[in-house]
Amino acid sequence: MTPRWRVRLLAASVFVLVLLVGAGGWLWLQQDQAAQLGGIGGPFALVDPAGHTVTDRDLRGRYLLVYFGYTFCPDVCPTTLTAIAGALDRLGPQAAHVQPVFITVDPARDTPKVVGQYAAAFSPRILALTGAQPAIDKVAAEYRVYVARHADDGKGDYTVDHSSIIYLMGPDGHFIAPIAADEPAKAMANDIARHLGGAAS
Partner 1 sequence: MIGRRTVLLAAAALLPAAAAAQAPQVQVAQPWARAPAGAGRSTAVYLSLRAGGTADRLIGVATPVAGMAMLHESFQDHGIARMRMVEGLDLPAGMTVTLKPGGLHIMLTGLKQQLARGGSFPLTLHFANSPPVTVTVPVLAPGASGPQTPG
- Single out the residue of 4, 5, 75, 134 in contact with partner 1 (rule: CB under 8 A): 75
Does 45 bind partner 1 (CB under 8 A)? Our answer is no
CB of 79 to partner 1, least distance (A): 4
Q: Rounded CA gap, 29 and 9, in Å?
A: 30
Single out the residue of 68, 77, 67, 73 nearest to residue 158, CA to CA.
Answer: 73
Torsion of CA 87, 60, 111, 72, to 10 degrees: -30
- The count of residues in the chain is 201
Q: Does 152 engage in binding with partner 1 (CB under 8 A)?
A: no
Compute the distance between CA of residue 80 and CA of residue 99 in angstroms, rounded to an integer.
15
- For residue 69, the minimal CB distance to partner 1 (Å) is 8
- Identify which of 73, 147, 178 has the alpha carbon closest to the alpha carbon of residue 115: 73
* 162 near partner 1, judged by CB under 8 A: yes
Rounded CA-CA distance 7/161 in Å is 57
* 4-43 binders of partner 1 (CB under 8 A): none
- Cβ of residue 85: shortest distance to partner 1, in angstroms? 6
CB atoms under 10 Å from CB of 181, counted, come to: 22
The residue type found at 127 is L
**Is the Cβ of residue 174 or residue 186 nearer to partner 1 in the bound state?**
186
Q: Candidates 8-16, 36-44, 118-126, 189-197 — which segment interacts with partner 1 by CB under 8 A? A: 118-126
Least distance in Å: CB of 171 to partner 1? 25
Binding residues (CB under 8 A) for partner 1: these are 71-79, 81-83, 85-86, 114, 117-119, 121-123, 146, 153, 155, 157, 159, 161-165, 178, 181-182, 184-185
